[in-house]
Chains A and B, each alone.
Chain A
Amino acid sequence: MDSPALLAIAALVLGATAIGFVVRARSGRVVVASDPSSTDARLAVPGAEVTLLQLSSPVCSACAVMRRVTEELVAGEPALARRELDVTEHPELASAHNVLSTPTTLLVDATGAVRGRIVGAARPEAVRDAVRSVREQLGAAA
């Protein structure tokens, strides 16, 4: 094997490794940002202060991880609710909220306004912090 082949192989391995670290760093990232233009009362679970709306797909292993994390969080908090929708059945939601990958979890307030999002599976503490930030945001607005 001569040097162009070895160079290409080295470049591929290094490039894929770099992509992997970027992907890992971005997974579970929480973005708290109000988007009042996208208020849709149907998104919120009635009676919940904050709804964790998980957009999933059938071909998504991280969706099951995120399901467990949010189910546990919601179980201990009566003001929190979670729901999960399949993007296959709701392509309009994926487009409206610019969902590029699953799971994407939207943090929705009681009026149906999206207050933040978590892309990928996140650690329980990260989800808890995200919910806390959304509540602070809601408290400041009230």
Chain B
Amino acid sequence: MSAAAPAPGAAGTQGIDPRGPRFGAAITAVLLLVVVGLALSGQLVAAIAVHAALVAIFAWGAFAGIRRHPWGRLYARLVAPRLAPPTVREDPAAPTFAQLVGFLITGAGLVLQLLGVPGAVVVAASLAFVAAFLNAVFDYCLGCQLYVLLVRAGVIRPRAAA
């Protein structure tokens, strides 16, 4: 571990800059539109390739954490230094969970498409686009809202309990 890295719990550095995940969602949203555009113009192989890359990027954010997400690093290196410091910070759990939802939806689309279901990639990329667009433009985390429904369905269970 590098001694130069700031301690994650140091005063004033709790949580992440909430503009980082929104910036990343904007890039993701544009790329998802590229997938839809390519697939509907007959460039199915190219569409599947871009879509597969997005599945991998969602997996990166979901399993390595939003702070190690490639768009998050791009934001930290290129965008954040040009902006005023964030007035609020947010818990990285929400955007990380949203990446997991994105991974599951785009991943399901990719698998179904490769199994021969026509249009699976277009449908999955469209759903993920709506979520990413709402995140980037309206600061609304659609994936996070699924959490309560999963709790109610018993998919997510209380930690220490029974």
Contact = CB atoms under 8 A, between A and B. Distances in A.
A and B: bona fide binding partners: yes
B148 A1 contact: no
A102 B91 CA distance: 15
B63 to A, nearest CB: 15
8 contacts: A2-B40, A5-B40, A8-B37, A16-B129, A16-B133, A59-B93, A61-B18, A102-B145
Given A9-B33, A57-B144, A101-B145, A88 B151 contact: yes
A2 B39 CA distance: 11
A58 B158 contact: no
A15 B157 CA distance: 34
Interface of A is mostly: helix
Given A5-B40, A9-B37, A61-B141, A16 B130 contact: yes
A102 B126 contact: no
Interface of B is mostly: helix
Contacts of A4: 40-41
Interface string A47-69: 00000000001111100100000
Given A9-B33, A13-B133, A89-B161, A59 B138 contact: no
Interface in A4-23: 4-6, 8-9, 12-13, 15-17, 19-20, 23
Interface stretch (A35-43, A73-81, A91-99, A108-116): A91-99
A60 B40 CA distance: 35
B91 A88 contact: no
A61 B91 contact: yes
